[in-house]
Structure 1
Amino acid sequence: MTASLARYESFLLKNVSTISTLESSLRTLTWLLPGRFKDAELASEALSASLNMMSMYHDTLLARIVQSDPKYRPLIPFSLHTRFTKAWADKDSRYKWAARLLETIRFTELLIEMGMRRKVSAKNRYRGIIILEVIKAILRFMLLRITRRTTISPPIPERDIDPTTLPPSTESSPTLAPSSPPSSLPATPEHLKNNRVPLPQHSPSVVPPPPRSDVSIQEYLLPKALTTTSVKPPLSLVRSFSSPQDWISEVIYILRPLVYATMLFSDRRSNRPLIAVLALEFISRSLRRNAPPSASLERSEHARRDRDLLWYLLRGTIWQSYTRPKIASLAENFSTTPILGLFGTLIQDWIPLIDEYHYYTAP
C-alpha cells in the first residue's frame, strides 16, 4: 500500500500541471451533467465531491514538498489567506484536523443529502441535515476557540503553488526516504529569461524619446511595493477579539445554518425560518467590528459574507414567490434563441434541484 501511494505521489509530482488542468475540466463538467440522464445530479455531485477531496489531498502533498525544500522560493508570494491558515495549521494540530474535517463535510454534505433522499423519509433526511449542522457548528467553535479570531473561509490553505517552480522529482516521494539531491538547479522559467535582443543603435544627433510621466512610474511601482500586511507575522493578519461584542457576533454567525435547518425541520412551508436566519445575519453584521484598511484579510472575509447575502434570493419564500418565476421565465425566453437556448436548458435543469435539496443553497 505504501509503495503504491509513493508511486502515485511520484506520478503527481511529474504531472502536477496536467492533473490540475484535468481537475478544472472535470469540475466544469459537473455543472453540465444535471438533467442529462436519470440520477445525473447524483453522479455530478459524486464526481464533484471526489474531485474536491482529491484536490485537498494534492494540496496537502504539494505543501509538504514545498515545506521540505529549504531552497524553494515562490515566484509569486503566497496569498494572505494561505499564510494565515497555514500558520495556524502548523502551530496547532487541532486546528489542522478540525479545518480538514470541516472541509470534508462541506465537500460531501450535498452528496450525503442526495443519498438520504433516496433511502429515508423526508423527516429523517432533515434529522440527518441537523446532525451535519451540529457537527459543523462544533468544528467552527473549535476553530474559534483556538484562534480567538474571525473564522476565515475556507479554513485550510488554498493552492498557491506554481507547478513550474516545484523541484524536479525522479523516483523520490515524500512517503519514501529522500533521494540524492538533483545535480543541477531547476531551469529558469521562460518569462524570466533574458531575450538578449540587442538595443538599437542611436546616433548622438537623434533626440531620445521623452521619458514617461511620474504617474506611470508610480502606477508601475506601487503594486510591487511591500505593504504592512506583507511583513506582518501570519498569525497577526487577523486581529484577535477584544470585546464581548466581537464574540457574540461570531457566535451568531456560526449558529445561523443550524438555526435555519432546525426551523425548517418543524416548519417548511412558512417564511419564519427565512425571516429568523435573515435577522441573525443582520444582527451579526451590525455587531461585528469594522476592520481597518490595513486588515486586508479580515476585510475580504467580511466582503465575502456580505456577498453571500445574495444567496437568500434562492432560499425559502423569496425563491418560491420572487426569484424562481423570474428565472423560469428567463430560461423559457432563452429556449427560443439558437445560442442562448443551451443556457436556458441548463437553467431549467437546475431549478428542480434548488427546489428539492437543502444544501444547494444552504447558508
Structure 2
Amino acid sequence: MSASIARYESFLINNVSTISTLESSLRSITWFLPGRFKDAELASEALTASLNVMSMYHDTLLAKVVKNNPRNRPLLPASLHNRFTKAWSDKNLVYRWIARILELLRFTELVIEMGLRRKVSDKNRWRGVILLEAVKAVLRLVLLKMTRRPLISPPIPEREFDPTTLPPQSNESSPTLAPSSPSYSPPATPDHLRNNHTPLPPHSLLTPPPPTRSDTSVEDYLLPKALTTSSVKPSLSLLNTLSSPQDWLAETVYILRPLVYVSLLVSDKRSNRALVTALFMELVSRNLRRTPPPSAALERSEYARRDKDMLWYLLRGSIWETYTRPKLESLVSRTSQTPVLGLFGAFVKDWIPLINEYYYYTAP
C-alpha cells in the first residue's frame, strides 16, 4: 500500500501542472451537469466532492514539498488565515484531524443527503441530516474549547500558490522530500552580444516632458510596503482568546445555529419557526460578539464573512418560497428568448428544483 501511495505521489509531483489543469476543467463542468440527464445532480456533486477531497490531499503533499525546499516557497507571505490554521495544525494533532474531518463532512454532506434521499425514507433522510449537523456541532465545540478563540472557516490552510510553478522533480528523489539542487548553470552570454548593453541616446522628439508633479505621493508608495501589527504577531496570537462569558455565548450560539435550524425544520416544515429562530440566533450572536480592533485583521475578516453569509437566508424557508423563487422564475421567463441572457436563465432554471429538494444546497 505504501509503495502505491509513493508511486502516486511521485506521479503527482511530476505531472502537477496537468493535474491542476484537469481539476480546474472538471470543476467548471460540474456547474453545468444538473438537469442534463437523470441523476445528473448526483453525478455533479459526487464529482465535486471527489475533486475537493483529492485537492485537500494534494495540498497536503504539495505543502510538504514547498516546506522542504526553500526554492519552491512563494515570494508573497502567507495569508493570516493560513498562518493561524497552519500553526494550530502543526501544534496540535487533535486540531489537525478534527479540522480535516469537518472539511470532509463539508465536502460530502450533500452527496450523503442525495444518497439518503434515494435509498431510505424521507423520515430517515432527515434523521441522517440531523446526525450530520450534530456531529459537526460537537466537533466545532471541541475546536472552540481547544483554541479558546473564534472559529475560522475553513479550519485548515488553503492553497495559496500555483502548483504549475513547481519545478519538475527527478525520478530518483522522494516525492515528499526536497529535490536535489540543479547541477547546471545558466548559459553564458555570446561574445557578439556582450557589448550591446549601451542604449542609444533618445531622440528629442520622442522624449516625454518632465512631470510637473508626482502622480503618487511618497506615503501612497510606502504604505502598502509597511509592516502591520498582524505581520509581526506570532501565528497563534493572530486571534485573541475569548475573554468574557458574552464572547463564549456568542460563539456557542453561532455554532449551534445550524443544528437548531434543521431540528425545527424537521419538526414542522410548513411553519416559519425554524427560519425565524435561526435568523434570531444569527442576530443574537452578531450583537453579542466583541468588536475587534482595527489591528485584528483576521477576526474582522471572519466576522465580515459571517455577515455576508446572511444573504443565504434569501434561499431558505418562506423567504425563498414567497420572494426569491418567484423573482428568479420571472427572470427566467423574461430572458428565455434573449440570445445571451437565455443561457443564464436556463442555468438558473436547472438549479431552482435542486434548492427546493435538497437541504444542503442552502444550509447554514
Per the normalisation by structure 2, the TM-score is 0.91
In the alignment, structure 1 segments of 5+ residues that lack a partner are 188-195
- The residue number in structure 2 matching 1:325 is 326
- The residue number in structure 1 matching 2:265 is 264
Alpha-carbon offset, residue 169 of structure 1: 1.1
Read off the aligned partner of 1:275 and give its amino acid letter. Answer: V
With 206-215 and 45-54 compared, the bigger mean Cα shift is at 206-215
- The residue number in structure 2 matching 1:356 is 357
Read off the aligned partner of 2:45 and give its amino acid letter. Answer: E
2:161 equivalent to 1:122: no
Q: Provide Cα deviations, 1:137-190, integer angstroms capped at 9, x if missing partner.
A: 111111111111010000000001233553541125656787754435899xxx
With 107-116 and 161-170 compared, the bigger mean Cα shift is at 161-170
Between the aligned partners of 1:279 and 1:173, the Cα distance in structure 2 is 57
Structural mapping, 1:1-363, within 5 Å: 1-70=1-70, 72-163=72-163, 165-166=165-166, 168-172=168-172, 174=174, 180-184=180-184, 201=201, 209-210=210-211, 213=214, 215-363=216-364
Query: Contact conserved, 2:169 with 2:179, CA < 8 A, in 1?
Result: no
Between the aligned partners of 1:290 and 1:202, the Cα distance in structure 2 is 58
Q: Provide Cα deviations, 1:48-88, integer angstroms capped at 9, x if missing partner.
A: 00000011001000111122235554211111111110000
Q: Provide Cα deviations, 1:102-140, integer angstroms capped at 9, x if missing partner.
A: 000000000000000001111111100000001101111
Between the aligned partners of 1:186 and 1:293, the Cα distance in structure 2 is 47
Alpha-carbon offset, residue 197 of structure 1: 7.0
Alpha-carbon offset, residue 360 of structure 1: 0.2
Between the aligned partners of 2:203 and 2:354, the Cα distance in structure 1 is 72
- Mark the CA change 1:286 to 1:116 in structure 2 (over 3 Å): closer, same or farther: same
Between the aligned partners of 1:37 and 1:319, the Cα distance in structure 2 is 26
Read off the aligned partner of 2:119 and give its amino acid letter. Answer: K
Alpha-carbon offset, residue 331 of structure 1: 1.0
- Mark the CA change 1:121 to 1:285 in structure 2 (over 3 Å): closer, same or farther: same
Between the aligned partners of 1:165 and 1:212, the Cα distance in structure 2 is 40
Alpha-carbon offset, residue 220 of structure 1: 3.2
Between the aligned partners of 1:228 and 1:52, the Cα distance in structure 2 is 34
Per the normalisation by structure 1, the TM-score is 0.91
Read off the aligned partner of 2:344 and give its amino acid letter. Answer: F
Between the aligned partners of 2:320 and 2:178, the Cα distance in structure 1 is 56
Aligned identity (percent) is: 66
Between the aligned partners of 1:230 and 1:296, the Cα distance in structure 2 is 10
Read off the aligned partner of 1:255 and give its amino acid letter. Answer: L
Alpha-carbon offset, residue 2 of structure 1: 2.4
Read off the aligned partner of 2:335 and give its amino acid letter. Answer: F
- Mark the CA change 1:222 to 1:176 in structure 2 (over 3 Å): closer, same or farther: closer
Query: Contact conserved, 2:42 with 2:111, CA < 8 A, in 1?
Result: yes
- Mark the CA change 1:209 to 1:41 in structure 2 (over 3 Å): closer, same or farther: same
Secondary structure of the residue that 1:215 maps to in structure 2? Answer: coil
Between the aligned partners of 2:112 and 2:44, the Cα distance in structure 1 is 13
Query: Contact conserved, 1:99 with 1:155, CA < 8 A, in 2?
Result: yes
Alpha-carbon offset, residue 323 of structure 1: 0.6
Alpha-carbon offset, residue 13 of structure 1: 1.6
Query: Contact conserved, 1:84 with 1:235, CA < 8 A, in 2?
Result: yes
Between the aligned partners of 1:110 and 1:70, the Cα distance in structure 2 is 39
Between the aligned partners of 1:185 and 1:312, the Cα distance in structure 2 is 59
Secondary structure of the residue that 2:360 maps to in structure 1? Answer: helix
Between the aligned partners of 2:39 and 2:185, the Cα distance in structure 1 is 51
- Mark the CA change 1:325 to 1:181 in structure 2 (over 3 Å): closer, same or farther: same
Alpha-carbon offset, residue 272 of structure 1: 0.5
With 145-154 and 166-175 compared, the bigger mean Cα shift is at 166-175
Alpha-carbon offset, residue 12 of structure 1: 1.6
- Mark the CA change 1:26 to 1:72 in structure 2 (over 3 Å): closer, same or farther: closer
